[in-house]
Structure 1
C-alpha cells in the first residue's frame, strides 16, 4: 500500500532563506520554484539516492497553524550521524532529540529543529545501507 516517500513538505515564513539554508546543507540548488519570478512560495529539491522530493512551502499555506515543532518525524539516512549533527548545529539547527541508539543492531537516530521551525530527523540505518548494496532487506 505505502510504496515510498513522494514529497516531504517543510514550512517556512521565509521560503527564500529556508531554500538557501537547505541548498547549503544538501549541496544542491532547488530544481523547481513557484512562482518562477519573484519571491518563492514553494521550492523543491531532489535528494539522495532515490531523488526523494523535499518541498519548502510558505507557512501561510500550512494545513495546520501550530507554530511549535511537531508532527511526524521523517528520518533521512546519513553515513556519519555525528558529523551530520555537528554540521546541522553549526548551521543554526538545535537538537530536538539527541543521538539515540535503537537496540543493538546499529540503528541510531537523532533529530534537530531547523532555523525555520521544522523537525529534521537523521539516522544511521543499516537496512538502508544493505538495500543500496543489493543485499536485500535483512540486516
Structure 2
C-alpha cells in the first residue's frame, strides 16, 4: 500500500447556483476579491472560481444544471472535493467497498481537472478531484 494518503487535501468546494453571474457578484462583495477563472467567459459564466486564504484554496460557483440529477433540483448544498492522484483507481476502490456513483468521472476543460463524486454506504457525498492546481500548490 502507498504511503501517500488517498485523500491528499481539500482541493475545491463547489457551490451550485441558478444564476452564476449574480452569485459571483455577491461573492465578490462578500469576499472582497475577484474570481481568477470564469468559464466560458465573464459575461455568461457557467463556472467561476476564486482562490482564497493562505493556501489559495478554491471556491467554485457552478451552474446547477451541471450537477448530478439528484442534486440539480435541490436548493443550496456544497460539494467539497478532495484531491486524489489516481481518480479512476479511487473510484474503483470506493465502489469495491460499497460506495455508489453520485457523479461520474467528468473531465472539466482541457487543463487536466477531472471530478467525480461518490455516495458512501450511509448516503454521504464524497467529492473527488484530480487537480493540477492542488499539485502546483504543494
Please give the range of the TM-score, normalised by the shorter of the 2 chains: 0.3 to 0.5
Higher relative contact order (CA 8 A, sep 6+): 2
TM-score, structure 1 length as denominator? 0.47
TM-score, structure 2 length as denominator? 0.48
